[in-house]
């Protein structure tokens, strides 16, 4: 069984103890509740709870640059236990 991890403030992800090898966090920001328009989108997503938005890239080899974004619950216990992953394979470049 895994031990519970200590909570790390959103803005501190990618720094200090939260840093991961071959990973660069470009942005870690707390987004307030309400609506949010992701970059490149034309319409906002409405009725969102507050969340921590993390944009990052991983370079496990010299010729790779894997970019991703993850939205994390902003408060302990606020997660509904569901996970949704979306993406495009290969060199698709963006998620619509």
Predicted confidence band of residue 2 (pLDDT cuts 50, 70, 90): very low
**Higher-scoring residue by pLDDT: 92, 49:** 49
Average pLDDT, the chain: 82
Cβ distance 56 to 67 under 8 Å? yes
What's this model's pTM, rounded to 2 decimal places?
0.76
Q: Answer left, alpha or beta for residue 77, where phi above 0 means left and psi between -120 and 50 means alpha.
A: left
Per-residue pLDDT for 16 more than 70? yes
Alpha-carbon distance of 29 to 24, in angstroms, equals: 14
Per-residue pLDDT for 90 more than 70? no
Cβ distance 96 to 88 under 8 Å? no
Degrees to nearest 5, angle at CA 24 with 19 and 28: 80
**71-91: average pLDDT:** 76
Cβ distance 72 to 80 under 8 Å? no
């Amino acid at each position: 069984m895994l031990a519970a991890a200590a909570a790390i403030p959103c803005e501190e992800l990618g720094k200090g103890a939260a840093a991961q090898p071959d990973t660069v966090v470009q942005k870690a920001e707390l987004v307030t509740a309400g609506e949010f328009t992701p970059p490149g989108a034309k319409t906002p997503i409405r009725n969102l709870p507050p969340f921590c938005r993390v944009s990052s890239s991983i370079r496990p080899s010299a010729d790779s640059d894997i970019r991703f974004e993850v939205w994390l619950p902003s408060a302990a216990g606020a997660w509904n236990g569901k996970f949704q992953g979306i993406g495009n394979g290969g060199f698709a470049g963006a998620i619509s």
